A and B are shown apart, each in its own frame.
Chain A
């Protein structure tokens, strides 16, 4: 979609700017110190807005260490998905899947299921890592906010539908090694299966700890968990699971 990659755009824009910055002064008094945006592409101007215009509180410290600038800097997957508006052509999609696969780190001693009761809380909680006018308390465990996008326990009515229903997920799929591995990878970096998915990368982004992931996985897969109350015959097929 974009003829140049991001770097080329920036470099071209900056070179163009160097030549014209001087003449922008009279008409745009508030901008006399800055470059002339009209010489930039929308993409370059957007990057300027994010990093150079003082629009964001980039210097604010964040709980993972460093400052909020990091929250605005894109890694390769974020950049590729933004540039292709979440519809990557086949070659880009393949690249994203490869990057995602390489990013996944597995727990020492294999993928274990934790305590589904703790997982229930973590799946509901949308707390953690918000910064700006108000900051989340770094000492409180961050939640996975799965209910924002997924149905899980059928008795919980406050669920979103950006993602598919996960009710009876363990009932339908079992808890075997390959299922555990798939679910772990989905939580860790779902772009390994769905390039440019809307689901966050909870592992790669260090949003959920290894322990939190094990609890949420238990909530999803443990036969005792309320997410798995059992199914009517035919339900699995109907839902395409």
Chain B
């Protein structure tokens, strides 16, 4: 009950401070209407499952994820997600939140790639994937904060810059790059207004994943979204957590810098 109230207040506060750009952004206007129509965000259930899983002792090493370092120190969740992707010394690479969760499930809990909690990357209407639940919980600890991915390590900068190249890279049977659909305001594919990468207020909302997707009936992740966009472009299938996917996420988070994240979000 308390949580539900909390959720409403989050929803309401979101509505009260409609960004200035919303009035001339049909994308943001539509998205705010969607938030208003929804009674609550079903992602809440996924978030609770994630919270339980996070504290539960699991895996061959019978450990919780409480000691996992998401970049701000072991166990620090608040604000961690809006400061990712980030370079992790221990892993020697740039990771997004989903990759980092998997890394800790392996190192702290002893799960392997084949074990269901890691193998299962996406939810179905009958089963919420552990990974999605954990991701939703950890991301929610950055709700209302500003996207602020670090660019201190040279690999963080290179990854972001390569992500930008990938964003503009046209290929495949339809000659698309991300740029084809996300570089101008007020453009639509069919009835859907498209967020523009050059409008940080729109983009901050666009990259607000995890989100409960009404059309899918489950919570989806940023990895799921970027895979879907590559699929629509008729390019090759993008692997989960791959370096290229993280490069795209680095660029897309940087483009939202300084604008507020809605976590978890509600999308169509």
Interface residues of A (CB under 8 A from B): 27-31, 37-38, 40, 42-43, 45-46, 49-50, 53-58, 60, 64, 68-69, 71-74, 77-78, 81-82, 85-86, 129-134, 147-149, 157-162, 198, 200-201, 205-207
Give the chain B neighbours of A73 by CB distance below 8 A: 171
A205 touches B164 (CB 8 A): no
CA distance A73 to B172 in the complex (A): 8
Q: Which one of B13-21, B130-138, B183-191, B206-214 is at the interface? A: B183-191
Closest 4 CB pairs of A and B: A132-B237, A55-B244, A55-B242, A42-B161
B180 touches A198 (CB 8 A): yes
- The residue in chain B whose Cβ has the minimal distance to the Cβ of A59 is B236
A148 touches B238 (CB 8 A): no
Contact of B173 among A27, A86, A148, A205 (CB under 8 A): A205
A56 touches B242 (CB 8 A): yes
- What does DSSP make chain B's interface, helix, strand, loop or mixed? mixed
Give the chain B neighbours of A27 by CB distance below 8 A: 92
Give the chain A neighbours of B161 by CB distance below 8 A: 42, 45
Contact of A71 among B93, B168, B172, B232 (CB under 8 A): B172
B190 touches A46 (CB 8 A): no
Give the chain A neighbours of B48 by CB distance below 8 A: none
CA distance A72 to B176 in the complex (A): 11
A162 touches B188 (CB 8 A): yes
A55 touches B188 (CB 8 A): no
Contact of A56 among B155, B183, B238, B247 (CB under 8 A): B238
Give the chain A neighbours of B230 by CB distance below 8 A: 56, 132
B235 touches A200 (CB 8 A): no
CA distance A69 to B189 in the complex (A): 27
Contact of B244 among A29, A56, A71, A207 (CB under 8 A): A56
Give the chain B neighbours of A29 by CB distance below 8 A: 92
> Given A71-B236, A132-B231, A161-B188, A55–B245 Cβ distance below 8 Å?
yes
Give the chain A neighbours of B37 by CB distance below 8 A: none
A sample of 19 cross-chain residue pairs with beta-carbon separation below 8 angstroms, ordered by A number, consists of A27-B92, A37-B158, A38-B158, A54-B242, A54-B243, A56-B237, A57-B238, A58-B236, A64-B173, A73-B171, A74-B169, A74-B170, A78-B171, A82-B177, A85-B168, A86-B183, A131-B236, A198-B180, A205-B173
Give the chain B neighbours of A71 by CB distance below 8 A: 171-173, 234-236
A53 touches B237 (CB 8 A): no
B174 touches A148 (CB 8 A): no
A25 to chain B, nearest CB (A): 10
Contact of B162 among A45, A129, A130 (CB under 8 A): A45
CA distance A53 to B10 in the complex (A): 41
Contacting A at CB under 8 A, from B136-184, are: 154-155, 158, 161-162, 164-166, 168-177, 179-181, 183
A69 touches B232 (CB 8 A): no
A86 touches B187 (CB 8 A): no
Contact of A162 among B158, B189, B242 (CB under 8 A): B189
B173 touches A49 (CB 8 A): no
Mask, B232-268, CB within 8 Å of A = 1, is: 1011111100111101000000000000000000000
Query: Is B5 located at the chain interface by the 8 A CB criterion?
Result: no
A105 to chain B, nearest CB (A): 17
Give the chain B neighbours of A55 by CB distance below 8 A: 238-239, 242-245
B162 touches A46 (CB 8 A): yes
A14 to chain B, nearest CB (A): 16
> Given A53-B242, A69-B236, A130–B231 Cβ distance below 8 Å?
yes
B232 touches A130 (CB 8 A): yes
Give the chain A neighbours of B188 by CB distance below 8 A: 159-162
